[in-house]
Amino acid sequence: MIQENEFKVVETSIITPSLGGMEVPMLTVTNFGQTQPEQDKKKVIVITGRVHPSESNASWIVHGLIKFLISKDRAAVELRNRIVFKIVPMINADGVTVGNTRCSFIGRDVNRMFGNPN
């Protein structure tokens, strides 16, 4: 757990198991030390990486983003004070693990499956 001035700035959670049974993690980055009314005013930004397994550059982008957002840089501190970041670094974990280029564990492009979520 990373903390700043006694306030937690990142939480990890598992949002779902994948079809292949892998855990899909999510990081929540914000200033958790604020009051509930302050938290309620914040915008939420969702960031995902590795929708397409072969896009390994996305892992580097998400890594750099997380590294910056949890840093003591003044801009990062201000962003955490105003925004809740929900980051899913590898949303298609099955596809990455089995070495697919574009598809998930069941051979479907998960970037085309958002029309009718269940």
pLDDT lower than 50: segments of the chain: 1-4
What pLDDT, on a 0 to 100 scale, did the predictor assign at position 51?
A: 85
What pLDDT, on a 0 to 100 scale, did the predictor assign at position 113?
A: 65
Q: Please count the residues of the chain.
A: 118
Distance CA 104, CA 115 (A): 16
Domains of the chain (ranges, CATH numbers): 3-72+86-112 (3.40.630.10)
What pLDDT, on a 0 to 100 scale, did the predictor assign at position 116?
A: 63
* Distance between first and last Cα of the chain: 32
Neighbouring CB atoms inside 10 A of 50's CB total 21
Helix (H) / strand (E) containing 13: strand 10-17
Q: What is the pTM of this model?
A: 0.83
